[in-house]
Amino acid sequence: MDAQIEQIVHYVLAYIEKSLLENPQKTRLRKNTTPDTLFSEIPISLSNNRVDSVELIKLIEKVIDNSVHTNHPFFMNQMFGKTQPLSFIADLLISLLNTSMYTYEVAPVFSLIEKEVVTQLGAKIWGVGKGDGVFTAGGSMSNMNALFLARQHHLKQAKQLGLCYEKPIAIFVSEQAHYSFTKGVNFLGFGLNSLIKIPSKTNAQIDTDALQKAIDLSKQQGRIPMMLIGIAGTTISGSFDDLEQLAKIAQDNKLWFHVDAAYGGSLLFSKKHAKKLRGIDKANSVTWNFHKVMGMNLSTSSFLTQEKGLLNQAFNVKAGYLFHEDNFDYDLGQKSLQGGRRPDAFKLWLTWKYKGDTGLSTHVEKLCVAAENMAASILSNTKLELFMPPQSSIVCFRYKGDIKDEGQIDTINKKIRNTIFEQGELLFNYSVLNDSIYLRCVILDPEISASQLHYILDKIVTMGDKLTS
């Protein structure tokens, strides 16, 4: 190995060891930097001149120092964070082995591992021996796969002739749905008007009465009702649609039923919380991410189907330089929309091996308990208002203090979030629920303590009091 590269490797390994062993709470989450500041502090521009190992280590230090530390227990800004150690180790091995998941030839063990993981996930949704699937680049890609298979199911000519010979279609989804469906209908050529967004009730569940009216109207308009999407863990509040009722509506109207369980699917590991997904066994397809609740490295996402063989029918192609056997069950590239693809299932597999079902269940239940404890603290504080009892590990609430005007409450909650965000000690977000601004904390560290949760709420209340005074 080149001596300079060896120096860099030693530095990175020392940083990794420190990251795994040291309490991340001692680390500041972020610096409040602007693009101009970063350009002035870090030589971002590339040139013909090379730099030596000492300079490269300085660059790496600056990158680390100016990045957001998502492994911190107070990183609650998005639906990922707090990486599980075995997932991190698996990710290192994936990078070192550096292979792709299209053929058994180049990924023999990883192909077997992905098939086994998919088998076990399918069993949790549909029962032993049922289900098929593939790992994808993320939840958005999984949801686009669902749109693709729904098209294949309903529009028989589209694969050969395209969409120009088909009637307009209708895809029904809650207004709480992830933006990937909007991107997906555009990407696949259905058009933005094909996506019918259904109002949600005050608890963020899809309004099934409004849904049925929308389906009836689409039929009167001569559209093809193609797909119904249920959500198991909405992006904003972590709420669950009534999947049993949606499954019945889908069946009655001959709709492809897809469940976006990117966030909430992992509650299936818990016997206590799996009931929140009752009805998911009627789904034709499911999106399920593991870099969210389960703490896998980005990105660890699966797309699962109830019926075996659908993915192969959709994506199987002739490529003699790559696929040498027709219908070879271990060439997973023949059931994937992607070509080059990392063996991301290995991260979940290695963690699952280490923890077992019991350990994964404990992980999920600890997160839900933490959310319930945080909600209880919010309810006991007269200056705070809880949106609803959390159904997952997302807690939405707002500071009210003594303010009566709704517009002022919205303004002060935005200011609370933005001021604390700039300080860089806590990272959470805000969003709109029932036309009001709510603060949103996504709890992803199963070891977060009661004192830490109290600290977060005290910080928010103190900031609210300060800003209103």
Per-residue pLDDT, 15: 86
Per-residue pLDDT, 327: 62
Per-residue pLDDT, 190: 97
* For residue 95, cis peptide bond before it (omega within 30 degrees of 0): no
- pLDDT tens, residue order, the chain (469 aa): 688 889 988 988 888 888 777 766 667 899 999 999 999 999 999 999 999 999 999 999 999 999 999 999 999 999 999 999 999 999 999 999 999 999 999 999 999 999 999 999 999 999 999 999 999 999 999 999 999 999 999 999 998 999 998 999 999 999 999 999 999 999 999 999 999 999 999 999 999 999 999 999 999 999 999 999 999 999 999 999 999 999 999 999 999 999 999 999 999 999 999 999 999 999 999 999 999 999 999 999 999 999 999 999 999 988 888 888 766 789 999 999 999 999 999 999 999 999 999 999 999 999 999 999 999 999 999 999 999 999 999 999 999 999 999 999 999 999 999 999 999 999 999 999 999 999 999 999 999 999 999 999 999 999 999 999 8
Q: Which residues pair with 220 in a beta bridge?
A: none
Longest dimension (CA), the chain: 73
Q: Right CATH number for 91-352 from 3.30.470.30, 2.60.15.10, 3.40.640.10, 2.40.100.20? A: 3.40.640.10
Per-residue pLDDT, 431: 97
**DSSP letter (8 states) at residue 199:** P
- DSSP H helices in 177-308: 180-187, 208-220, 243-252
Per-residue pLDDT, 24: 63
Q: Report the 10 Å Cβ neighbour count for 186.
A: 13
Q: Report the 10 Å Cβ neighbour count for 260.
A: 31
> CA-to-CA distance for 429 and 412, rounded, in angstroms?
14
Is residue 297 a contact partner of residue 276, using CB atoms and an 8 Å limit? no
Angle at 130 between CA 124 and CA 133, to 5 degrees: 80
**DSSP letter (8 states) at residue 308:** T
Q: Which of helix, strand or coil describes residue 62?
A: helix
Per-residue pLDDT, 387: 98
**DSSP letters along 123-189, please?**
HHHH-TT--EEEEES-HHHHHHHHHHHHHHHH-TTHHHH-STTS--EEEEEETTS-THHHHHHHHTT
For residue 32, give both structure tokens.
Answer: 């409040």
For 285, the enclosing helix (H) or strand (E) is strand 285-289
> CA-to-CA distance for 89 and 96, rounded, in angstroms?
11
Q: Report the 10 Å Cβ neighbour count for 286.
A: 32
**DSSP letters along 66-94, please?**
TS--TTSTTB-SSS--S--HHHHHHHHHH
Is residue 396 a contact partner of residue 388, using CB atoms and an 8 Å limit? yes
Is the domain covering 356-468 a CATH 3.40.50.720 domain?
A: no
User: Is the model's pTM score more than 0.85?
Assistant: yes
Rounded to the nearest angstrom, the gap between the alpha carbon of residue 309 and the centroid of all alpha carbons in its chain is: 26
Per-residue pLDDT, 23: 66
- DSSP H helices in 155-280: 158-161, 180-187, 208-220, 243-252
Q: What is the DSSP pairing of strand 285-289 with strand 301-305?
A: antiparallel
**In Å, how far are 270, 388, 442 from 204, measured between CA atoms?**
23, 9, 17
98: left (phi over 0), alpha (psi -120 to 50) or beta: left
> CA-to-CA distance for 178 and 211, rounded, in angstroms?
17
> CA-to-CA distance for 301 and 71, rounded, in angstroms?
19
> CA-to-CA distance for 386 and 374, rounded, in angstroms?
10
With CA atoms as reference, report the closest residue to 28 among 325, 355, 424.
Answer: 424
Residues 445-466 as b or e (16 or more Cβ within 10 Å = b): bbebeeebbeebbebbbebbee
Q: Which of helix, strand or coil describes residue 319?
A: coil
Domain boundaries, the chain: 3-67, 91-352, 356-468
For tokens 């005290």, what's the residue? 458
Rounded to the nearest angstrom, the gap between the alpha carbon of residue 325 and the centroid of all alpha carbons in its chain is: 35
Distance in Å from the first CA to the final CA of the chain? 62
> CA-to-CA distance for 148 and 284, rounded, in angstroms?
12
Per-residue pLDDT, 19: 79
Is residue 419 a contact partner of residue 394, using CB atoms and an 8 Å limit? no
